[in-house]
């Protein structure tokens, strides 16, 4: 049984985001890039399912320019058995990404797509659900716990009201939330070994995917800044300051 | 003129409070607003929705297949009704985030997530990088699906009386998905994400046992309890308490950051808090740069005193 894990290269979560002065986007030149943290969780879950013998193959897929190969190398170091790079230099819309992943899913005869619930750059939280819609298969988003048993999966979802349990038949899409697992630290030998694994290259055109109508980003601005507040000396002063704001 | 379809999230026969905020976003777009209630029996929810200002009409689609909020069942029903609408709006909740992309993909149209400001029927602001940047986006021609960031809009009043109409949808429950159960959070403390007040502890707490000082204070003021990633990674508290870019992004009225240095990833999660109070013994900690009120001191003496006096 094959699982696909979609992985995205994003600005590392520890980097302080700087908006370009001309409003054309955020600074990414010379900035540390990493695998999207939610995709790391998805990758870890796939590896654990493989270790438990629930799945046999893990195919990591990314869409983007040449540098995205680094992200696939990370996925291979985690334990992906195959990596596919859908080469595209443009800005990929979530619906286009979903069409591409759906095409790979069908081509590979996969049973499961495990994706991060969202990427921490565009924060869209769309792609996994869109893949499930395009393939007309089950989806379980915001997964906090996944049990795969043959062709079924029981997923505990972290919804606003609490924990919701769904039982789904495979093929299916699962999107990983923060609590699903704690990704392992990659070991140097695994990282070295991953460098020697060939990566399969393809394009949207090869997959027969047409790009979706684009939502254009017109302007990027920094968020409103918080003005620096006051520093108080004692607990009594703190309570007085809170009272002045009507908060105590 | 825009024709706007607002999807009514509901549970236990009650309309979700976020829908009134979605209607505020809908009124900014301008046009005729229809609310769609999908349920096993949506009469009570529809009656509630009909009272909200700006609603022209409420459609109720009753079907046994819609008894539970399963995206695979809701999406085809919404797609059926959505023909002819220019905008399909969802609340930016886990419900909306789950269902909206499934609708957009089925319609073959784009989705704009987390809309925080409306400039026109096709121009919107939305946060990226956990709110560290705000983008203005322009939608292409055709229908668009939107999720509305609830923290950015004020609920409309409930002084209207729209007509309620039944609509039939040809939906059958998908065989591949079985809804098992919902376990509502049992904690007596307010939910971290919707709490008006939140108290978070950081690495400086030093241990799981020491977190008691945070819990005691939170209980005294009726606050939800959070933690920094450092505290979670050190194993002091479980993952679901993490506030920050990779944890929960929250917007309480009052936020206490206690023994938290203020790493970027934490600050990204609290940007929208109305008032931030920082308590830290390091006067140089970055948290003081964003705090409205700062107190430099040892949390183990300051917090118990605060608990006693507040």
CA B161 to CA A178: how far, in whole Å?
42
DSSP state at residue B152: G
Any idea which fold B197-309 has?
A: Rossmann fold (3.40.50)
CA A247 to CA B107: how far, in whole Å?
47
> With pLDDT > 90 as the criterion, what percentage of chain B qualifies?
83
Report pLDDT for A161.
81
Instruction: Give the tokens for residue A13.
Output: 């979560």
Report pLDDT digits (tens) over B162-177. 999 999 999 999 999 9
The neighbour count for residue B188, using CB atoms within 10 Å, is 6
Contact A138 B247 (CB under 8 A): no
Report pLDDT for B154.
86
CA B55 from centre of chain: 22
Do the domains spanning B3-166 and B197-309 agree at the CATH topology level?
yes
- At B184, the pLDDT band (50, 70, 90 cuts) reads confident
**Which chain A residues contact residue B239 at CB under 8 A?**
178-179, 182
B176 at the A interface (CB within 8 A)? yes
Report pLDDT for B217.
97
Q: Which residues pair with B137 in a beta bridge?
A: A217, B124
Report the gap between the CA of B182 and the closest CA in chain A (Å): 4
- At B189, the pLDDT band (50, 70, 90 cuts) reads confident
Report the gap between the CA of A188 and the closest CA in chain B (Å): 22
**Which chain B residues contact residue A232 at CB under 8 A?**
293-295
Indicate if the pLDDT at residue A28 is higher than 80: yes
Q: Which residues of B128-166 are buried (b: 16+ CB within 10 A; e: fewer)?
A: bbbbbbbbbbbbeeebbbbbbbbebbebbeeeeebebee
Identify whether A171 is preceded by a cis peptide bond (ω within 30 of 0): yes
Q: What are phi and psi of A220, to 5 degrees?
A: -125, 130
Report pLDDT for B185.
62
**Which residue would you say has higher pLDDT here, B246 or A219?**
A219
* Interface mutation target, options A33, A124, A182, chain B, most CBs of B under 10 Å: A124
Report pLDDT digits (tens) over A166-190. 999 999 999 999 889 999 999 999 9
Choose the closest CB to B136 out of A182, A218, A238: A218
Overall size of chain B counted in residues: 310
**Which chain A residues contact residue B288 at CB under 8 A?**
231
Average pLDDT over residues A125-148: 98
Report pLDDT for B265.
83
For the four alpha carbons of B71, B76, B80 and B82, in that order, the dihedral sign comes to positive
Residue bearing tokens 């938290």: B260
Report pLDDT for A227.
76
Sorted by where each begins, the domain ranges of chain B are 3-166, 197-309
Residues 6+ apart with CB under 8 A from A187: none
Provide the greatest CA pair distance for chain B. 64
CA B113 to CA B105: how far, in whole Å?
14
Q: What's the CATH code, domain B3-166? A: 3.40.50.620
A184: three-class secondary structure by DSSP: coil
CA B29 to CA B38: how far, in whole Å?
23
The pLDDT mean for chain B works out to 94
Report pLDDT for B121.
96
Indicate if the pLDDT at residue B193 is higher than 80: no
Indicate if the pLDDT at residue B272 is higher than 90: no
DSSP state at residue B130: G
B91 at the A interface (CB within 8 A)? no
Contact A226 B271 (CB under 8 A): yes
DSSP state at residue B168: -
- Alpha-helical (H) ranges within chain B are 18-29, 43-50, 71-82, 94-107, 212-221, 229-233, 264-270, 287-290, 299-309
B306 at the A interface (CB within 8 A)? yes
Average pLDDT over residues A113-118: 98
CA A74 to CA A63: how far, in whole Å?
15
Q: Residues B84, B3: contact at Cβ < 8 Å?
A: yes
Choose the closest CB to A129 out of B71, B110, B294: B71
Overall size of chain A counted in residues: 248
Report pLDDT for A162.
81
Please name the CATH architecture into which domain A2-244 falls. Answer: 3-Layer(aba) Sandwich (3.40)
Report pLDDT for A179.
85
Report pLDDT digits (tens) over A35-83. 999 999 999 999 999 999 999 999 999 999 999 999 999 999 999 999 9
Instruction: Give the tokens for residue A17.
Output: 């985001």
Report pLDDT for A224.
83
Report pLDDT digits (tens) over B216-261. 999 999 999 999 999 998 999 987 789 987 778 888 999 999 999 9
The pLDDT mean for chain A works out to 95
**Which chain A residues contact residue B130 at CB under 8 A?**
120, 123
CA B295 to CA A140: how far, in whole Å?
44
Q: Residues B7, B23: contact at Cβ < 8 Å?
A: no
CA B219 to CA B236: how far, in whole Å?
18
Contact A178 B97 (CB under 8 A): no
Contact B131 A130 (CB under 8 A): no
CA B43 to CA B65: how far, in whole Å?
16
Report pLDDT for B186.
62
Using CB atoms within 10 Å of the CB of residue B83, give its burial: 0 to 12 exposed, 13 to 18 middle, 19+ buried: exposed
Average pLDDT over residues B78-88: 97
Residues 6+ apart with CB under 8 A from A196: none
B173 at the A interface (CB within 8 A)? no
CA A35 to CA A10: how far, in whole Å?
6
């Amino acid at each position: 049984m094959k699982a696909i894990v979609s992985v995205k290269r994003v600005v590392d979560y520890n980097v302080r985001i700087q908006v370009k002065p001309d409003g054309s986007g955020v600074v990414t030149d010379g900035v540390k890039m990493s695998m999207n943290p939610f995709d790391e969780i998805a990758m870890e879950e796939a590896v654990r399912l493989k270790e438990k013998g629930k799945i046999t193959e893990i195919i990591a897929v990314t869409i983007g320019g040449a540098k995205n190969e680094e992200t696939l190398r990370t996925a291979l170091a985690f334990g992906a058995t195959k990596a596919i790079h859908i080469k595209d230099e443009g800005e990929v819309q979530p619906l286009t990404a979903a069409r591409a992943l759906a095409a790979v899913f069908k081509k590979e005869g996969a049973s499961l797509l495990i994706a991060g619930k969202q990427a921490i750059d565009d924060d869209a939280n769309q792609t996994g659900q869109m893949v499930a819609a395009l393939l007309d298969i089950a989806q379980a988003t915001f997964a906090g716990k996944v049990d795969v048993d043959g062709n079924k999966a029981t997923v505990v979802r972290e919804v606003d009201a609490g924990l919701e349990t769904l039982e789904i038949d495979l093929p299916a899409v699962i999107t990983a939330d923060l609590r699903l697992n704690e990704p392992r630290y990659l070991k140097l030998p695994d990282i070295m070994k991953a460098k020697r694994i060939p990566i399969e290259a393809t394009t949207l055109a090869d997959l027969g995917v047409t790009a979706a109508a684009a939502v254009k980003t017109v302007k990027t601005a920094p968020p409103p800044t918080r003005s620096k507040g006051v520093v108080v000396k004692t607990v009594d002063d703190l309570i007085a300051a809170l009272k002045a704001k009507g908060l105590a | 003129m825009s024709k706007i379809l607002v999807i009514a999230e509901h549970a236990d026969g009650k309309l979700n409070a976020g829908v009134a905020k979605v209607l505020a976003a809908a009124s900014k777009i301008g046009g005729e607003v229809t609310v769609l209630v999908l349920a096993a029996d949506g009469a009570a929810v529809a009656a509630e929705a009909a009272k909200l200002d700006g609603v022209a009409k409420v459609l109720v689609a009753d079907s046994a297949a819609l008894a539970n909020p399963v995206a695979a069942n809701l999406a085809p029903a919404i797609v059926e009704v959505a023909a002819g609408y220019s905008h399909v709006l969802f609340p930016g909740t886990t419900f909306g985030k789950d269902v909206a992309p499934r609708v957009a993909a089925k319609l073959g149209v784009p989705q704009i997530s987390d809309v925080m400001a409306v400039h026109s029927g096709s121009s919107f602001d939305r946060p990226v990088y956990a709110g560290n940047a705000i983008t203005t986006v322009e939608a292409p021609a055709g229908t668009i699906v939107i999720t509305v960031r609830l923290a950015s809009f004020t609920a409309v009043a409930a002084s209207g009386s729209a007509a309620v109409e039944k609509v039939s949808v040809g939906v059958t429950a998908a065989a591949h998905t079985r809804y098992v159960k919902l376990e509502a959070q049992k904690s007596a403390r307010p939910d971290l994400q919707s709490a008006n007040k939140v108290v978070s502890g950081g690495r400086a707490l030093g241990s799981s046992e020491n977190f008691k000082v945070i819990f005691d204070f939170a209980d005294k003021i009726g606050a939800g309890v959070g933690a920094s990633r450092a505290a979670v990674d050190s194993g002091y508290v479980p993952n679901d308490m993490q506030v920050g870019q990779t944890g929960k992004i929250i917007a309480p009225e009052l936020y206490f950051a206690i023994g938290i240095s203020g790493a970027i990833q934490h600050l990204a999660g609290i940007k929208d808090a109305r008032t931030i109070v920082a308590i830290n013994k390091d006067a140089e900690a970055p948290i003081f740069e964003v705090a409205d009120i700062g107190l430099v001191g040892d949390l183990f003496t300051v917090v118990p005193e605060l608990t006693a006096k507040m």
